[in-house]
Chain A
Amino acid sequence: MRCMQCDVDLPDSYHVCPLCGEAVSDTPNQLPIEEAPYPDVTQSVEADVPAAYPNKHVLRVIAVLCAVFLLIGQSTLWTLFTPILLGLCALFYFVCALFEKGKLLRSGVCLLSTVAVALVLQVFGLLLRLPMLGISLAAAGCIAVFVLLCLLFPARMRAQLQATFHA
């Protein structure tokens, strides 16, 4: 096959010249070259790249905030509040991820790791005899942020959550 407009050889399977879009002519090729076809796709499949996951950064921010509140807090009350609040926060994550079946394991890991962070902070606080109010405030703040994010962007939060624990 040849395109007479462009004066080029084309594979036998082509009906239209890819350069100019004109119909091809059934003339023998000048060069003895065999076709090496590409897969027949015209739309790129969605990339293997997971979406961005600011949640990882959000978790870092939580940790920093907790540390700050831990240092400046005043009260020694509500010792048990921190893990419970942080746990609730993680639970919200968990419920968020439940929308998507098959992601349970990742969500479980998320839940456990967040509770673990809370416990570590708790132990840290007890060892240093630092007041717990700061942590509780931080936790409450985090929950507020997460609830807000999840309510504002349910689909995006879900996608980011999956991406966070993308294998």
Chain B
Amino acid sequence: MKAYYTYFKLKFITGLQYRSAAWAGISTQFFFGFVYIMVYIAFYESGGKNIPMTLSETITYLWLNQALLALVNQFTRDEELFKMVREGTISYELARPKNLYFMWFFKVLGQKLAAVTLRFFPLIIVTSLLPEPYGLGLPVSFIGFIVFLLSLTIGSLLVTALTVLYPIVTLATMSEKGIVNLMITIADILSGIVVPIPFFPLFLQKISSVLPFQYISDLPFRIYVGNIQINSCILPIIIQFIWLILLIVIGNLLMKKNLKRVVVQGG
């Protein structure tokens, strides 16, 4: 266990060194946050019917989304793992007496947490100081906040389990371009980081409800804003947890299968 923790720690510490990338990310996220908010405000003012979330719920959701984007998205990939597969430094990882899946899992987790640590505070502080209705609102209740934290924790592990799948698939395809990038794009859209799930057309909501992606961030964010009631969030959190276990199992199996026929590059 200690080895995995050390992997996580090193990746986290080295991740904290990328400050300038983080500042660039922060400004992009402010920009996108404002653009999204303008669009939604216009949408609400045009008086659409059956809008699934209130404006303040939506805006808080959007800011949470921007503040935690580095954690909950799948497209900012850990370049190191793909490079490892492409260039064959995976040789060294394979020569270690540890489970490669979990080595990668904790690397991805460390990288994600470092990235979000650098970006999270400026965004949260600034957006919570913004005037109504533009700012980040408070959680629906204290209990709601606790449940949000629990669900976000499971969500972080879930997105890690998904993110680590892509380099594992790349072991077979040898290039992350094409199919893998397509998978990542679809996964990101279905997780609600572009448009919150409640705004999806009904058929797409049905599709995404049987997939793991909406349990990454959509569920915790909606718990935070109170769009999902505390007493009806037990089942979704259980499903979230089941997906996490399932994806870890799938990742391990896929890793095993792909390692059997992996072609280690270079030498």
* A and B assemble together: no
- A→B interface (CB under 8 Å): none
